[in-house]
Amino acid sequence: METPSGVVIRDLNTTNGTYVNFDRVGSCEHSLKSGDRIRLAGSEVVIVYLQEGYNTVKMDTPPAFAGEAVSSSRKASATEDAGESLAPKDTALLKYLESRRSEVVSREDIVKRVWPELPAGVNTELLVSESVNRVRAKLGDDPAKPTHIITVGEFGYLFI
Q: Give the residue extent of every domain in the chain.
A: 2-46, 72-159
Q: Has residue 155 got a pLDDT over 60?
A: yes
DSSP lists the bridge partners of residue 157 as 105, 151
Give the pLDDT confidence score for residue 40 in this predicted structure: 78
Beta-carbon contacts of residue 158 (< 8 Å; ≥ 6 apart):
102, 103, 104, 105, 149, 150, 152
Asked if 2-46 and 72-159 have one fold, the answer is no
- Please write the tens of the pLDDT for every residue from 35-66: 778 887 777 776 665 544 444 444 444 444 33
Rounded-to-integer distance, Cα 158 and Cα 148, Å: 8
In angstroms, rounded to a whole number, what is the distance separating the alpha carbons of residues 94 and 85?
12
Beta bridge partners of 6: 3
Q: What is the pLDDT of residues 103-130, one digit of tens each?
A: 889 998 999 999 999 887 788 888 999 9
Architecture per CATH, domain 2-46, reads as Sandwich (2.60)
Give the pLDDT confidence of 19-32 residue by residue, as tens digits.
Answer: 888 888 888 888 88
Is 72-159 a domain of CATH 1.10.10.10? yes
**Size of the chain in residues:** 160
pTM above threshold 0.75: no
